[in-house]
Amino acid sequence: MSNGRIDVHSHFLPDFYRAAAAAAGHAQPDGIAELPAWTAAGHVAVMDRLGIATSLLSISSPGVHFGDDGAARALARQVNEEGQHAVEAHPGRFGLFAALPAPDVDGSIAEIRYCYDHLGADGVALLTNVGGTYLGDPALEPVFDELDRRRARVFVHPTSPACWESTSFGRPRPMIEFLFDTTRAVVNLVLNGTVARHPGIEFVIAHAGAALPVIADRVAAFTIVLTDVDSEADIIPDLARLHYDLAGFPVPRQLDAILALTTLEHLHYGSDYPFTPEFIVETGAQALANAGSVASALTGNTRQLFPDSRNLAAE
């Protein structure tokens, strides 16, 4: 599988995590039918069929924080250790974006240190918001300071917005609300200066940047009149330096939009498996393969983003 793709947007759901999420009221998270079943061996089998060499695993929405800091710390530690077990049991097939118990700042910093110093994680995954605390909130600054010190790769994954009851019209939130919450969170990261103040962090934004390419110039124009924009923020360059995965349906329209905001070197392959079923992943990969030279560049881009990873399949 050395010539296969590297998947930066791929999820794992150990049985104990599915049970904890269901017990917290998330048996049908974000309005979808159910939490999909998952095993490491089954995931590898899917990767083999789809030509994926390595998948970077992360916990998807609803994350690990269900309202209690102590329980969130314990669950984050448990899923991270389970993710590392999958990495070790299948050398070269899995990497790990560690889960953090945000918005618990002290717990998140402790988990960053554990996952980097003891588990050798490839990066961390953060949800766009947890309980209405959005990325870019000043309260999370110590977390980003620690990630910057570690020169971390931070995968930003959407979840339901804090106002989903009023905006989703009863439809599954991944259809529209996830994209708007990604857009909302990344704009907040940029306007509040989190991106500019932490040049050591490489952010990977899900779903080809959601609506960011369409509204970037509008946001930049509003900074002329806004009084609360961080002095270090530079909207278009800040957005252009981020990385973006192509999970979802970027072809035929969204791909052109993200390439108008950033360069090809900042794009990466993503499957969103197992929340996206295998047959849809296969259809999306084929559409991407038909989109000219983009698909052939993605694996090299990801190797450049993770030059020191011990977990990616050898070239």
Residue 314, pLDDT score: 87
Residue 4: Cβ-neighbour burial (10 angstroms; 0-12, 13-18, 19+)? middle
H or E, element range at 5:
strand 5-11
Q: Does the pLDDT at position 2 exceed 80? A: no
Confidence tier at 3 by pLDDT (50, 70, 90): low
314 within a domain of the structure (yes/no): no
Residue 1, pLDDT score: 45
The pLDDT of 300-313, averaged and rounded, is: 95
Confidence tier at 293 by pLDDT (50, 70, 90): confident
pTM > 0.85: yes
- Does residue 250 have a cis peptide bond before it, meaning omega lies within 30 degrees of 0? no
Q: What is the mean pLDDT of the chain?
A: 96
Q: Does the pLDDT at position 315 exceed 90? A: no
123 within a domain of the structure (yes/no): yes
Q: What is the CATH number of the domain that holds 120?
A: 3.20.20.140
Do 216 and 183 contact (CB within 8 A), yes or no?
no
In sequence order, what DSSP letters do the residues of 213-282 get, joined into one string? HHHHHHHHHHTTT-S-S-TT--HHHHHHTSEEE--S--TTTHHHHHHTTS-GGGEE----BTTS-HHHHH
The pLDDT of 211-233, averaged and rounded, is: 96
274 within a domain of the structure (yes/no): yes
- What are the tens digits of pLDDT across the range 115-152? 999 999 999 999 999 999 999 999 999 999 999 999 99
Question: Across the strands, what pairs with 130?
Answer: 133
The pLDDT of 32-52, averaged and rounded, is: 97
313 within a domain of the structure (yes/no): no
How far apart are the C-alpha atoms of 127 and 267, rounded to whole Å?
20
- Count up the domains in the chain and report the number: 1
Which residues, 6+ apart, have CB-to-CB distance to 19 below 8 Å?
A: none
Sign, Cα dihedral of 48, 59, 134, 197 = negative
How far apart are the C-alpha atoms of 245 and 206, rounded to whole Å?
5
- What are the tens digits of pLDDT across the range 61-115? 999 999 999 999 999 999 999 999 999 999 999 999 999 999 999 999 999 999 9
Residue 112, pLDDT score: 98
- In the structure encoding, which two tokens stand for residue 155, read together? 């995968």
The pLDDT of 203-219, averaged and rounded, is: 98
Q: Does the pLDDT at position 271 exceed 90? A: yes
86 within a domain of the structure (yes/no): yes
Domain of 14 in residue numbering reads as 5-305
159 within a domain of the structure (yes/no): yes
73 within a domain of the structure (yes/no): yes
Q: Which amino acid is at 269?
A: Y
100 within a domain of the structure (yes/no): yes
How far apart are the C-alpha atoms of 57 and 13, rounded to whole Å?
10
The pLDDT of 206-221, averaged and rounded, is: 97
Q: Which amino acid is at 252?
A: P
The pLDDT of 37-57, averaged and rounded, is: 98
How far apart are the C-alpha atoms of 87 and 32, rounded to whole Å?
28
